[in-house]
Chain A
Amino acid sequence: MTIYSDIQETIRMLDKEKLDIRTITMGISLLDCFTDDINITVKKIYDKIYAYSSKLVDTGEDIAKEYGIPIINKRIAVTPIALAAFSKAEDYIKIASTLDKCANDVGVNFIGGYSALVHKDITKSEHAFLDSIPKALKVTKRVCSSVNVGSTKAGINLDAIKLIGSTIKQIAFETKDEDSIGCAKFVVFANAVEDNPFMAGAFHGVGEGEAVINVGVSGPGTIKAAIEKCKGEPINEICEMIKRTAFKITRAGQLVGNEASKRLGVPFGILDLSLAPTPEIGDSVALILEEMGLEKCGAHGTTAALALLTDAVKKGGIMASSYVGGLSGAFIPVSEDAEMIACVNCGALSFDKLEAMTSVCSVGLDMIAVPGDTPDTTISAIIADEASIGVINNKTTAVRIIPVYGKKLGDIVKFGGLLGEAPIMKLNDYSSKNFINRGGRIPAPVHSFKN
């Protein structure tokens, strides 16, 4: 029988420490929907997504009620749309609108997979697809887009990175009336994973089956509360505490994943245990790092603290779930973490420190607002830096950066909801233009002689 202290601990985690299941994401393969006729293709896409996911939202809500654990988001990820191989950008935009309508009709808040994998080279149809992204993000509300520009096996496609620097500026321009919010729905990856349930980077990889349920669990508040009990203890005690807490959180996610899979008749894929902050007070990754003993997130020692956090979370989570996948670790999206915003505002946390932190966090430079007049090539260079960290270290890295149209250093952008608000951050003003304009491909790195 469950003992009462265990019950109380679980209830405290749920009530006070904001433990939640961040997302149930259904991956759906669209490979059998892609035909050479755009009208037939969009109809097939709509019908297939609707058939699989029409009960997703209701099922998620039922499970949340029965177990008393909040399930914040229900989402869909589809096969990378660039694989539809159309030759005109307008055709891709039709697909984007179809995805948007379908997401709206089944009631999910985001649908991911408006994506392309161009880590080695770009095909003609992928060029058309990349051209379509700014408009697609303008005319849709719920579609999320991503592009993979590098991998440890293939190297880094600098031509693609050069192109995407200006794509991001165009997205910022197309959505200028809403503080360039389109950029918040666009991620550039290196070593993208095929089963990530978190937006904006979720897509259903080509190695996946017809449909799958992936679950993303969060809970920075729970980890922070656990560390609070370790005042004055050596750092290894903190690692142990994080592992034990991550184990419990992951088990809750596993239960929800299994239930959702059973009720929807779709296999369970993976559980992604990622500490994902929200703008709510206390739901912050920066506060975990500060609880370990840093005065402010961004102080010297932050990278070490984040590294041990990410590692301990993975260690605890891996034993608790039959399949751990996705990105699993800690996210550091600036605008979505109230304490991180405060650290930027007080000068403790700089762009360069964030870049260093991404070498040990689970993703990368996330939700960072920069001046609207940042040159395209500077954005490309930021992506190239970040992709290099991922490719050399054999990990996933990503960039979700927002050059907010018309805003300059010192301004604050309010996106609202889960996306939070962001101070415009200072970048290095010196030019990277001639480096980026070379184009070409950075070869895959050597995997021996690691120093």
Chain B
Amino acid sequence: MKAVITVIGKDKTGIIYKVSKVLYESDVNIDDISQTVMQDYFTMIMLVSSAETINVNELKKKFSELEDEGLSIQVQKTEIFDIMHKI
């Protein structure tokens, strides 16, 4: 089961560390990362997967602490991206 995680926020130390820590603890594997800093804003898209069904709501709850630090974190199942761009 696959999902896309997008992280946007003011660049600072430890963003990747904190996000991947939550994923490690939830037994979710990172398949790929694309990351840039645009005008001081850190933007990252992660493709993640897990043998089990990823509980999107559970992950979002765990990320809510990071959101309090000013990061915007979205977790979405990949189907929405696939279906919109592939025939």
Contact = CB atoms under 8 A, between A and B. Distances in A.
Interface of A: 1-2, 4, 6-11, 62, 65-69, 248, 251-252, 254-255
Interface residues of B, number: 21
Interface in B17-59: 32, 34, 45, 47, 56-57
Contacts of B79: 67, 255
A248 B87 CA distance: 10
B80 A69 contact: yes
A66 B78 CA distance: 10
Contact of B84 (A4, A62, A68, A248): A248
Contacts of A255: 79-80, 83
Contact of B80 (A1, A8, A62, A252): A252
Given A7-B81, A65-B56, A251-B84, A1 B76 contact: no
A4 B34 contact: yes
Nearest to B72: A15
A11 B56 contact: no
B37 to A, nearest CB: 15
Contact of B77 (A1, A4, A6, A67): A67
B5 to A, nearest CB: 10
Nearest to B60: A65
Nearest to B56: A66
B15 to A, nearest CB: 18
Contacts of B45: 4, 7-8
B71 to A, nearest CB: 15
Contacts of B85: 2, 6, 9-10, 248
B56 A2 contact: no
Nearest to A11: B6
Secondary structure class of chain A's binding surface, majority of residues: helix
B66 interface: no
Cβ-closest 9 pairs across A and B: A68-B76, A6-B85, A67-B80, A2-B81, A248-B84, A66-B56, A251-B83, A4-B34, A255-B83
7 contacts: A2-B4, A7-B4, A62-B57, A65-B60, A67-B79, A69-B76, A255-B79
Contact of A68 (B32, B34, B75, B82): B75
B84 A6 contact: yes
A69 B4 CA distance: 13
Nearest to A66: B56
A7 B81 CA distance: 6
Given A8-B45, A65-B57, A252 B76 contact: no
B50 to A, nearest CB: 14
Given A6-B85, A11-B74, A68 B47 contact: no
Contact of B82 (A2, A8, A9, A69): A2
Among B32, B76, B81, the one with the most A-chain Cβ atoms within 10 Å of its Cβ is B81
A59 B80 CA distance: 17
A252 B34 contact: no
B57 A10 contact: no
